[in-house]
Amino acid sequence: MSIKKGKDIPKDLKDLFKKLEKIEEIEKVIPGAIKQKRGNSPPTVKVTQELDAGLKVLIKKGGLVQEAFVTTKSPRGVADKISSIS
Residue 12 DSSP class: G
Residue 69 and residue 54: Cα distance in Å, rounded? 7
pLDDT digits (tens, 9 = 90+) for 5-45: 656 788 889 999 999 989 999 999 999 999 998 888 899 99
Using left for φ > 0, alpha for ψ between -120 and 50, and beta otherwise, residue 39 falls in left
Residue 39 and residue 33: Cα distance in Å, rounded? 19
pLDDT digits (tens, 9 = 90+) for 47-70: 999 998 999 999 999 999 999 999
With contact defined as beta carbons under 8 Å apart, do 22 and 14 qualify?
A: no
pLDDT of residue 39: 84
Residue 50 and residue 73: Cα distance in Å, rounded? 12
pLDDT of residue 7: 65
Residue 61 and residue 13: Cα distance in Å, rounded? 7
